[in-house]
Amino acid sequence: MIPDESERRKWQNPQSTLLDAGLRSSLTLVDIGCGDGFFALPAARIVGETGKVYAFDENPDAIDRLKRKATIEDIKNLEAKTGKAEDTVLCEECADIVFFGIVLHDFRDPAKVLENGKRMLKATGRLVDVDWKKTSMEVGPPLQIRFSEEEAARLIESVGFKVQAVTESAPYHYMIVATKP
């Protein structure tokens, strides 16, 4: 079961997660598989007027909801688009952080998605993957589609990243931070 946003906020604070990932004022973040903005909206607030958030998802309804929320909050530093992660590169070497917020396990070709993320990442940037632990729990996607920390780290390294850290992130998730070599 995937919880609704209000339930999810009880055990996952998107702002804290983003700050733990190294996001700060004036940076540029690309949120791949952003849904309706659980991480993208707090990211836009954190980076402020001098920063930028690019967000995309293949679900046009989710992107419409994200755009409406951004308009209501008068957030102007967020650019949201519809697109499949396997086919989308929004910019070349523009991002300080390429962010996957509990979605890497959902992609048809996660290696291709990571390669596209690598193209969008600055040489000094970092890839951040927050995903479900591969343990049985009442929330989250089916256990068989989740990546363990080791599986995700191997996948990330297989496309040319260097894993810098693997840490716990909230009770149900881990965070992997990787860089270009």
Would you list the domain boundaries of the chain?
Answer: 5-179
CB 144 within 8 A of CB 151: no
The model carries a pTM of 0.94
Segment 76-131, tens digit of pLDDT: 999 999 999 999 999 999 999 999 999 999 999 999 999 999 999 999 999 999 99
CB 163 within 8 A of CB 127: no
Is pLDDT at 171 greater than 70 in this prediction?
yes
- On the 0-12 / 13-18 / 19+ scale of CB atoms within 10 A, 96 is buried
- On the 0-12 / 13-18 / 19+ scale of CB atoms within 10 A, 39 is buried
Say what the pLDDT of residue 10 is. Answer: 72
- The CATH number of domain 5-179, selected from 3.40.30.10, 3.90.550.10, 3.40.720.10, 3.40.50.150: 3.40.50.150
**Residue 20: Cβ within 10 Å count:** 16
Is pLDDT at 170 greater than 90 in this prediction?
no
Cα–Cα distances in angstroms (integers) from residue 32 to residues 7, 138, 149, 180, in the given order: 22, 25, 19, 18
Say what the pLDDT of residue 4 is. Answer: 60
